[in-house]
Amino acid sequence: SRFETCWPALMKDSHGVIIIFNPELPSHLKEIELWYSCFVQQQPLLDSQCLLVAHHKPGSAGGTENLSLASPLNKLKLIHSNLEEDPEDVRMEFIKYFRSIITIINETREREEMSIIS
């Protein structure tokens, strides 16, 4: 939170937000609610413009199935990253996410152009 004064500059004209957290730290689970509130809801961005990444450190015991997030976080796209086991899966999920952001940007631009024309 000591960087909060920088947040408006970080958020300006952003089209997507990726929140990476350690699912084994209870403090992180509280913090991602704050990040979501500030960076997604207050902008406002669509939930589809936000990606949650639960990053499991090498050798951590955390299972990927039993992570239950409170509303509204439970509506967001959540991927588990464990770069030891499945780096390719994570890469594919990032590509899918970036493609969806590009689609949203293009649709928004087309709407703006149409509104200028009409």
DSSP 3-state assignment of 19?
A: strand
Distance, in Å, from the CA atom of 25 to the CA atom of 97, rounded to the nearest integer, reads 25
pLDDT of residue 26: 86
pLDDT tens sequence across 39-73: 999 888 999 999 999 998 887 765 555 688 888 99
Q: Quickly tell me which residue has 């390719």 as its tokens.
A: 88
Give the list of residues 6+ apart from residue 37 with CB closer than 8 angstroms, or none: none
pLDDT digits (tens, 9 = 90+) for 2-45: 677 887 888 888 899 999 999 988 898 889 999 999 999 988 89
pTM above 0.85, yes or no: no
